Amino acid sequence: MGRFDGKVALVTGGASGIGAATLRRLASEGAAVVCADIDDERGETFAAELRESGAAASFVHCDVGELSQVEAAVARAVEEHGGLDIMHNNAAWSGGGWVADIPPEDWDRSIRIMLTAVFYGCRSAIPAMLERGGGSIVNTASIEAFGGEMLASPYTTAKAGVVNFTRNVAIEYGRKGIRANSICPGIVDTPMFDVMATFSKRTRKEMAELHAIGRVIRPEEIASVVAFLCSEDASAITGAALVVDGGLTASLNLGGHDPLID
């Protein structure tokens, strides 16, 4: 028996990184899963791999910035697997640069994909969850929801919005059986980390060493937190913004001490 036997999960941005790790984890514990992504080739291949391992899995093309496509993804989950119990809004894209230089179209796309799309995901998933008597929503935010970051204002703004929007979902639907939480990762070894590394003044090694655990986080470690939040073990947790950052924000380290030497 798995924790998610009989449950149906939909993950956006599910073809790689945190999304793929989450789908793999939920499927391994019995959930039927739907991978939603704009990368058709990778998504179809990944869903096929899950099916080969014995999971009930499918892929649906989904541009999360289009409400109709998010609604279609939820409908696919309901039609193919009988309902929807878990929604992980995880897709991301971000522009950046000095505030006065950011192209308006990059700002708009960033907010649409990382914030408006979370609204679309919740708006689409909630009716299906209510039909099942409740469910669990997890929205991917970031530790950058709690602080600024040079040249990353679209990202930090969107992620801050995700945290508070998630709280609204929690308080509006908690008495109807739906829990909603956001996760706030540190630096995770995903394609997004590769993008970050291209404009960071720190090396990948230096960025890893900023974490108290001395390394960046594995996608599977984030997936385990998502699985926990979606399980009955987290039945009293809703409206939370759970930091999963390997100790990255635990210390300002203004004194510049090295814990391995000092």
How remote is the C-alpha of 241 from its chain's centroid? 12
Please confirm, yes or no, whether 155 is among the known catalytic residues: yes
The structure's pTM equals 0.94
Give, in order, the Cα–Cα distances in Å from 78 to each of 29, 31, 67, 121: 19, 13, 17, 14
Tokens of 244: 């999963």
Tokens of 221: 């470690």
pLDDT at 196 (0 to 100): 66
Per the CB < 8 A criterion, the answer to whether 88 and 9 are in contact is: yes
pLDDT at 199 (0 to 100): 64
First to last CA, the chain: 48
Give the Cα separation of 57 and 61 in Å (integer). Answer: 14
- Strand pairing category for 178-185 and 135-140: parallel
pLDDT at 74 (0 to 100): 98
> Residue 243 carries which side chain, given as an amino acid letter?
V
Tokens of 231: 């399980």
Give the Cα separation of 93 and 154 in Å (integer). Answer: 10
pLDDT at 35 (0 to 100): 98
Residue ranges of domains in the chain: 8-187+218-244
Tell me the torsion sign for CA atoms 205, 208, 214, 218.
negative
Q: What is the pLDDT along the chain (262 residues), one digit of tens a residue?
A: 799 999 999 999 999 999 999 999 999 999 999 999 999 999 999 999 999 999 999 999 999 999 999 999 999 999 999 999 999 999 999 999 999 999 999 999 999 999 999 999 999 999 999 999 999 999 999 999 999 999 999 999 999 999 999 999 999 999 999 999 999 999 999 877 766 666 677 888 888 888 999 999 999 999 999 999 999 999 999 999 999 999 999 987 767 777 777 6
Q: Which one of 4, 59, 119, 155 is the catalytic residue? A: 155
pLDDT at 197 (0 to 100): 61
Give, in order, the Cα–Cα distances in Å from 75 to each of 23, 62, 68, 113, 129: 18, 12, 10, 20, 12
- Strand pairing category for 57-61 and 32-37: parallel
Q: Is 173 helix (H, G, I), strand (E, B) or coil?
A: helix
pLDDT at 254 (0 to 100): 65
Q: How many of the other CB atoms lie within 10 Å of CB of 259? A: 10
pLDDT at 88 (0 to 100): 98
Question: What is the dotted CATH code of the domain comprising 8-187+218-244?
Answer: 3.40.50.720
How remote is the C-alpha of 157 from its chain's centroid? 16
